[in-house]
Amino acid sequence: MKVFTAIQDIRAHIDERKRQGEMIGFVPTMGALHEGHFSLIAQALKENDAVVVSIFVNPLQFGPNEDYEAYPRMLDADLEKAEARGVDIVFAPSAAEMYPEEMQTGVRVHEGTEVLCGKSRPGHFDGVATVVLKLLQIVQPTRVYFGQKDAQQAAVVTNMGRDFNLPTEIVTGPTIREPDGLALSSRNVNLTSGERREAVWLYEGLKQGALWIEEGTYRPREILEGAKHTVEANISGTLDYMDILTYPGLRPVKEWNERVIIAGAVQFSGARLIDNIILSPGQKGRA
């Protein structure tokens, strides 16, 4: 496995591999790698000749009072795990390598950010879109992989791909969960043991809402009230939001005749967790 920290070095290496006709799969991450990342990596390994994983905690996507400093960083352990899972190339740049000076330009996301995480994290998706565009320019992959767990992020990036005619194919993979249902997240290590036990209630509330949606008459207000109650009655943290929207459009649902997402976020003392379920009409499918 090759590890690069300099943009010009990884570029030269990937140029060479592409000259040899290799298809490159790319999995961008912020590190503290877990089975959620590894499922995307496994899919990328199947569909490409070589897989690049980036490990970069992107300062641009954190708000001033968010957990940029406390975000778990464990590069040595990540490199070991990545190698064991068959990753070919890791790109782990410093913030100074990615942002040698203040950016004079950036991507502004102006649709789909007034809801869900966009509402409570102003500027977050601009930071995500900007770093993803930079990373795609650096790696120039054939395909890039995102997890459904961060559904709004996957939608924003997919929209950016279309808006900017990006040549990379954008692929989303399913959410990977702990045996009790909690979605895997690097932030889970920042939960207290009590919060870890409670955290599963976010998914329980979403599942309840999803079940009611599947059962028939679509009454978003009542469904959300019930699902929110389930979460709030069982956690010490605060429910930041829970909503039902069309997916990937992220617009209010009028009739249940297209895919919908039920998504929620909970703020615990040291970690903000998000989760969602995506439902297709006429099909009891869950992501």
Quick one: which of 18, 176, 226, 258 contacts ligand AMP (CB under 6 A)?
176
Does residue 40 touch ligand AMP according to CB under 6 A? yes
Closer Cβ to ligand AMP, 253 or 266, answer by number:
266
Buried b (16+ CB within 10 A) or exposed e, 118-140: beebebbbbbbbbbbbbbbebbb
Annotated catalytic residue: which of 34, 37, 110, 124? 37
Q: Which of 37, 121, 124, 134 binds ligand AMP (CB under 6 A)?
A: 37
State how far the Cα of 50 lies from the Cα of 39, in Å rounded to an integer.
Answer: 15
Cα–Cα distances (Å) from 185 to 48, 69, 199, 221, in that order, read 25, 17, 11, 29
Q: Determine if 36 is a binding residue for ligand AMP (CB under 6 A).
A: yes
Please give the single-letter amino acid code of residue 247.
Y
Assess whether 110 carries a catalytic annotation: no
Residue nearest to ligand AMP (CB): 147
Whether residue 117 contacts residue 274, with contact meaning beta carbons closer than 8 Å, is answered with: yes
Minimum Å gap between C-beta 216 and ligand AMP is 29
Residue with smaller CB distance to ligand AMP, 23 or 42: 42
Name the residue with tokens 């469904």. Answer: 223
Q: Where are the alpha helices (DSSP H) in the chain?
A: 7-19, 35-47, 75-84, 95-98, 116-120, 124-139, 151-163, 193-215, 220-232
- The stretch near ligand AMP (CB under 6 A) out of 5-13, 177-185, 228-236, 239-247 is 177-185
Q: Which region, judged by CB under 6 A, interacts with ligand AMP, from 44-52, 66-74, 86-94, 173-181?
A: 173-181
The yes or no reply on residue 183 touching ligand AMP (CB under 6 A) is: yes
**Per CB under 6 A, does 25 bind ligand AMP?**
no
- Whole-number minimum distance, CB 149 to ligand AMP, in Å? 4
Among 25, 93, 141, 147, binds ligand AMP (CB under 6 A): 147
Q: How far apart are CA 271 and CA 66, in angstroms?
A: 9
Task: Report the alpha-carbon distance of residue 198 to residue 24 in Å, rounded.
Answer: 40
Label residue 46 exposed, middle or buried (CB < 10 Å: 0-12, 13-18, 19+). exposed
Considering the complex, state which of residue 113 and residue 175 has its C-beta at the smaller distance from ligand AMP: 175
In the block, which residue shows the tokens 């992959």?
141
Report the phi/psi class of residue 97: left, alpha or beta, with left for phi > 0 and alpha for psi in -120 to 50. Answer: alpha
168 touching ligand AMP, by CB under 6 A: no
Contact track, ligand AMP, 148-167, x by CB under 6 A: -xx-----------------
State which of residues 54, 185, 188, 190 lies at the interface with ligand AMP (CB under 6 A).
185
Tokens for 69, please give them: 């400093």
Is 143 near ligand AMP (CB under 6 A)?
A: no
Q: Shortest Cβ distance from residue 157 to ligand AMP (Å)? A: 9
Q: Are 127 and 96 within 8 A, CB to CB?
A: no
Q: Which residues bind ligand AMP (CB under 6 A)?
A: 29-30, 36-37, 39-40, 146-147, 149-150, 173, 175-176, 183-186
Which residues participate in catalysis according to the annotation?
A: 37
